[in-house]
Amino acid sequence: MLDIKFVRENKELVKENIKKKFQDKKLPLVDEVIELDKRVRELKQTGDELRKEKNETSAKIGTFMRDKKIDEANEMKTRVVEINKELVNIEKEESELMASLKEKMLVIPNIIDPSVPIGKDDSENVEIEKFGEPVVPDFEIPYHADIINALNGLDKESAGRTSGNGFYYLMGDIARLHSAMLSYARDFMIDKGFMYCVPPFMIRSDVVTGVMSFEEMDAMMYKIEGEDLFLIGTSEHSMIGKFKGQIVKEEELPLTLTSYSPCFRKEVGAHGIEERGIYRVHQFEKQEMVVLCKPSESMDWYNKMWQYTVEFFRSLDVPVRTLECCSGDLADLKVKSCDIEAWSPRQQKYFEVGSCSNLSDAQARRLGIRTKGENGTYFLHTLNNTVLATPRGMIGVIENNLNEDGSINVPKALQPYMGGKTKIEKRK
């Protein structure tokens, strides 16, 4: 959410930013919030003047009563009653206008970074850099579900009976590989100096609206019936919410956290949710990284964070590339974002395994997360990035470490988490 003062003073810039995100339907909101803000400030000024008059009038009542001027005192009392009625009406209108102002402000997108390429949707995202040589072996690589099935590692049929489409059972060494990757991701980030956390897997609605846009919430979140609780779609939601309403000590910055959680997503409108694979599912597990820092440091952290994910996947023998998200593909709270994509030798193209985002002070402003420095109190910047989302990340490891006989080489980094196992083979 933008600062209303910023919107007042930079109306055309805010409108131009909306156009760059191809959200022209939101253009009228800018003038609407400016008018609402003007009326709210007028009401505040009128209210302050009335309260001042009330205090002065109340003081006169005491003086008149001491001087036995009963008629004058009663006249002043009548005026105090009138002022109180006016204040009630003013405060009611002010409250209603403030609610409307906040609702509209929450929909106006954050100002994107000047380096963000302009484009309508993800088809116009821009490749930045490739890491590792993408290899296509001289044997055919089966669909990932077939690879895993051949190793007795996947059961979607049973999951369909228990839970429906978009769910799965992982079994045997494949389940162990899944857990090994998460454990390695945890230790990888701890070694980078991040504090490991396991957050709540449900959050309240005021946290949800603090960390994401309404469009994202509707498309992603599962709500617990009869309660003000939502299942998290990523642990970033809980981790940022942890600091809601807090003033963080400036000397403690930056806060660098890495968190594990299961994640739950509706995937509304997603294609292929009923497919037999495990690329796009309703439930998965994730290791995330979250940073809260000074505004001057956020872009440095942004570049560090996506590089950590690249390093992580390269340590698992998976070629990756980074893709700059264009303006139309950025969620409203983000100022800059890039995707990390893994090479698929079967499809002979890259697919998304993570996303790194700088949200400047948008989440902090919504949730009231501040710090106090020499120049006063200010909002922090928040960033998040995927270390590993699996089983999607596991697909990249499986395809890039597959042997012609159907076995999978266990990357060296994962072998300590697999009991020293170097290869996954079909059990006899």
Alpha-carbon distances, residue 121 vs 117, 294, 348 (angstroms): 11, 30, 22
387 sits in which H/E element: strand 381-390
Check if the beta carbon of residue 401 is closer than 8 Å to that of residue 408.
yes
Sort strands 370-373 and 247-249 into parallel, antiparallel or unpaired.
parallel
Please name which of 144, 173, 142, 167 lies closest in space to residue 155, comparing C-alpha atoms.
167
Check if the beta carbon of residue 105 is closer than 8 Å to that of residue 33.
yes
DSSP string, 320-374: EEEEEPPGGGS-TT-SEEEEEEEEETTTTEEEEEEEEEE-TTHHHHHHT-EEEET
In CATH, 4-105 is 1.10.287.40: yes
- Whether pTM > 0.75 for this model: the answer is yes
**Burial classification of residue 280, based on how many CB atoms lie within 10 Å of its CB (0-12 exposed, 13-18 middle, 19 or more buried):** middle
- pLDDT digits over 37-49, tens only? 999 999 999 999 9
Q: What is the CA radius of gyration of the chain?
A: 28
CB neighbours (10 Å) of residue 325?
24
pLDDT band at 227 (very low <50, low <70, confident <90, very high): very high
CA 311/CA 315 separation, integer angstroms: 6
Give, as one character, the DSSP assignment of residue 143. Answer: P
CA 333/CA 362 separation, integer angstroms: 6
- pLDDT digits over 69-111, tens only? 888 899 999 999 999 999 999 999 999 999 999 999 999 999 9
- pLDDT digits over 169-186, tens only? 999 999 999 999 999 999
pLDDT at 269: 53
- pLDDT digits over 120-165, tens only? 999 999 999 999 999 999 999 999 999 999 999 999 999 999 998 8
What fold, for 122-424?
Answer: BirA Bifunctional Protein; domain 2 (3.30.930)
The domain limits of the chain are 4-105, 122-424
Least confident of 73-82, 250-259, 342-351: 73-82
Please name which of 410, 387, 383 lies closest in space to residue 398, comparing C-alpha atoms.
410
